[in-house]
Amino acid sequence: MKLQRKNGVRALTVGAVAISGALLLTACGSDNNTASSNASSSSSSSAGSIKCDGNGQLLASGSTAQQNAMALWVKNYQAACSGTSINYKGVGSGAGIQEFLQGSTAFAGSDSPLKPEEVTASKKICSGGGQAIDLPMVGGPIAVEYNLPGVDSLVLDAPTLAQIFNGKITKWNDAAIKKLNPSATLPSTTIQAFHRSDESGTTDNFTKYLIAAAGKDFPYTGGKAWQAKGGQSAQGSAAVTAQIKQTQGAIGYAELSFATASSVPTVKIDTGASSPVDASTDSATKAIAAAKVVGTGNDLSLKIDYNTKVDGAYPITLVTYEIACDKGNKSATLAATKSFLTYAASDAGQGVLAAQGYAPLPAEVVTKVRSTISSLS
Residue 109: the pLDDT is: 97
Q: DSSP class of residue 47?
A: T
Residue 274: the pLDDT is: 96
Residue 24: the pLDDT is: 33
Domains delineated in the chain: 10-139+320-375 (3.40.190.10), 142-287 (3.40.190.10)
DSSP 320-366: EEEEEESS---HHHHHHHHHHHHHHHSHHHHHTSGGGT-BPPPHHHH
The predicted-structure confidence for 248-261, as pLDDT tens digits, reads as follows 999 999 999 899 99
154 SS3 class: coil
The predicted-structure confidence for 177-196, as pLDDT tens digits, reads as follows 999 999 999 999 999 999 99
Residue 305: the pLDDT is: 92
The predicted-structure confidence for 113-131, as pLDDT tens digits, reads as follows 999 999 999 999 999 999 9
pLDDT tier, 371 (very low <50, low <70, confident <90, very high otherwise):
very high
Residue 6: is its pLDDT beyond 70? no
Q: What are 359's strand-pairing partners?
A: 139
CA distance linking residue 310 with residue 91, whole number of Å:
34
Residue 239: is its pLDDT beyond 90? yes
Q: What is the mean pLDDT of residues 207-219?
A: 96
Residue 81: the pLDDT is: 96
**pTM across the whole model:** 0.74
The predicted-structure confidence for 49-97, as pLDDT tens digits, reads as follows 799 998 889 999 999 889 989 999 999 999 999 999 999 999 999 999 9
Summary count for the chain: helices (H), strands (E): 13, 15
The predicted-structure confidence for 297-326, as pLDDT tens digits, reads as follows 999 999 999 999 999 999 999 999 999 999
Residue 89: the pLDDT is: 96
Phi, psi of 220 (to 5 degrees): -130, 165
Residue 280: is its pLDDT beyond 60? yes
Q: What is the mean pLDDT of residues 145-171?
A: 97
The predicted-structure confidence for 98-113, as pLDDT tens digits, reads as follows 999 999 999 999 988 9
Residue 308: the pLDDT is: 92
The predicted-structure confidence for 14-58, as pLDDT tens digits, reads as follows 333 333 333 333 333 223 332 323 333 333 333 347 999 988 899
Average pLDDT, the chain: 87
Q: What is the mean pLDDT of residues 255-272?
A: 95
Segments of the chain assigned E as strands? 23-25, 43-44, 51-52, 56-62, 84-90, 107-110, 132-146, 155-157, 192-196, 232-234, 250-255, 268-270, 292-293, 302-303, 317-325
Residue 42: the pLDDT is: 38
The percent of residues above 90 in pLDDT, for the chain, comes to 77
